[in-house]
Amino acid sequence: MHATDFIVARNDLQQCKSIETQLPDAAALPADALLVKITRFAFTANNVTYAVMGDALKYWQLFPAPKDFGNIPVWGFGEVIASKHPNVAVGETLFGYFPMATHLVIEAADVSKRGLRDGAAHRQGVAPVYNAYARVSGDPAFTGKQGDYQALLRPLFMLSFLVDDFLAENDFYGARRVMLSSASSKTAYGLAHLVHGRDGIKVIGLTSAPNVAFVKSLGCYDEVVTYDAVTSLPADSPVAYVDMAGSSELRERLHRHFGDQMKYSGRVGLTHRSTSPEEPELPGAKPSWFFAPDHIRKRAKEWGPGGVDTRFGAAWAGFAPKLDQWLTVTEGRGPAAVQQVYLDTLNGRVPPDQGHILSI
């Protein structure tokens, strides 16, 4: 029997194809290994960023592909179809990081009631979150539409949660306005939802003209401004900037407009894929990457065991119900559908109210 992988050319992301590979023989799996059938996964601009940063952040290393190609990691669900681990049963559902493929072999390690880890040597050079699988069989929070929301948004909302917490801990660097670029993205509106709930802080969404109506409809932005009109914002009081778009040109325009009133400039995403390799010195706070694993480590220490999970769970419980109005889940099956959604996402053709759940 064959497995199928969807792969992209590392140096030209417009080139992509499905390939057939040999499905590992279940009987010949090594001790503790699981053969997992990948049943459904989400695809958003965040996955394109994994490809853009594939070399720099070692994402290509996770799911090996033929020379010069890469398999983009996705968040989703798999079903164990063969198990050589005594405590993991065939039929179990796992939630975590998968390749765009039909199957994955996991070397199960640190198996607990709630989860396990892939101990494969080639997966160890990345943050632990990328090797962790939650055991979610029968969990209603990971079933049906709720499961789709988890795949589409949970990893993104973790970033939203951490940035909100980081800004609040730093009293928003003295700003009472927070600007978010690519305001229509799921990561941005998750953050807008959280910041909007804080007293005295105004959230300003920066977006492209076609997405203005969607961003306004969310109700978690106090103001929505198109990219070409950002210099119409008053520059006479402190402001913080969280950047999902990653456009160097936009960042420079904002910094020059706000000058010393730009109190925080955090980089999070690259949706516009228009970052210059060399950035000029800019007025205001120095732009810096927000590195989520550092903040999570800090809070895990301060909040103690379960502290991050409990707080994140409470935040998610306030956010997830909004998604019924904000998001329409669209399902795609088979290599052709996967390729179409990949190319549409890569080329910015996915309307922001759509969430794609795929399987090969």
Ligand X SMILES: NC(=O)c1ccc[n+]([C@@H]2O[C@H](COP(=O)([O-])OP(=O)(O)OC[C@H]3O[C@@H](n4cnc5c(N)ncnc54)[C@H](OP(=O)(O)O)[C@@H]3O)[C@@H](O)[C@H]2O)c1
Instruction: State which residue, 83 or 271, has the beta carbon closest to ligand X.
Output: 271
> Residue 235 corresponds to which amino acid?
A
211 binds ligand X (CB under 6 A): yes
* Binding of ligand X by 250 (CB under 6 A): no
Would you state the structure tokens that stand for residue 161, as one six-digit string? 């949660």
Work out whether 184 is an interface residue with ligand X (CB under 6 A). yes
271 lies in the site for ligand X, by CB under 6 A: yes
Please list the residues that pair with 2 across neighbouring strands. Answer: 22
The minimum distance between CB 275 and ligand X, in angstroms, equals: 11
Cβ-proximal residues to 55 (8 Å cutoff; 6+ apart), any chain: 10
- Residue tagged 């978690």 (tokens): 220
DSSP 138: T
Closest approach of ligand X to the CB of residue 207, in Å: 4
Contacts of residue 169, defined as CB under 8 A and 6 or more positions apart, other chains included, come to none
| Residue closer to ligand X, measured from CB, 93 or 184 | 184
CB of 156: closest distance to ligand X in angstroms? 5
Q: How far apart are CA 222 and CA 163, in angstroms?
A: 18
Contact window for ligand X (CB under 6 A) among 8-16, 69-77, 182-190, 280-288: 182-190
What is the rounded CA–CA span in Å between residue 322 and residue 17?
36
Q: Which stretch binds ligand X (CB under 6 A): 113-121, 132-140, 183-191, 297-305?
A: 183-191
Q: Of 330-349, which residues contact ligand X (CB under 6 A)?
A: 347-348
Give Cα separations from 358 to 25, 124, 126, 143 (angstroms).
25, 27, 25, 15
Within 211-317, strands assigned E span 223-226, 239-243, 262-267, 288-289
The partner residues of 203 in beta bridges, in order of sequence, read 178
Number of residues that bind ligand X (CB under 6 A): 26
208 near ligand X, judged by CB under 6 A: yes
Please report whether residue 268 would count as binding ligand X according to CB under 6 A. Answer: yes
Which of positions 127-146 make contact with ligand X (CB under 6 A)? none
Is residue 224 a contact point for ligand X (CB under 6 A)?
Answer: no
Q: What are phi and psi of 102, to 5 degrees?
A: -90, -25
Taking alpha carbons only, the member of 127, 182, 194, 131 closest to residue 157 is: 194
At closest approach, how far in Å is the CB of 49 from ligand X?
3
Q: Which of residues 288-307 bind ligand X (CB under 6 A)?
A: 292
In the complex, least distance from residue 328 CB atom to ligand X, rounded to whole angstroms: 13
> Contact, 203 vs 337, CB < 8 A?
no
For position 93 contacting ligand X by CB under 6 A, the verdict is no
Q: Taking CB under 6 A as the rule, does residue 183 contact ligand X? A: yes
When asked if residue 71 is in the footprint of ligand X (CB under 6 A), the reply is no
Using alpha carbons only, what angle is made at residue 312 by residues 191 and 111, rounded to the nearest 5 degrees? 130
**Rule CB under 6 A: is residue 265 a binding residue for ligand X?**
no
* 270 touching ligand X, by CB under 6 A: yes
Q: Give min distance, CB of 42 to ligand X, in A.
A: 9
The b-or-e profile of 25-36 (16+ CB within 10 A means b, else e) is ebeebeebbbbb
Binding to ligand X, residues 42-61 (CB under 6 A): 44-46, 49
> Which residues of the shown chain bind ligand X in the complex (CB under 6 A)?
44-46, 49, 156, 159, 182-187, 207-208, 211, 244-245, 268-272, 292, 347-348, 352
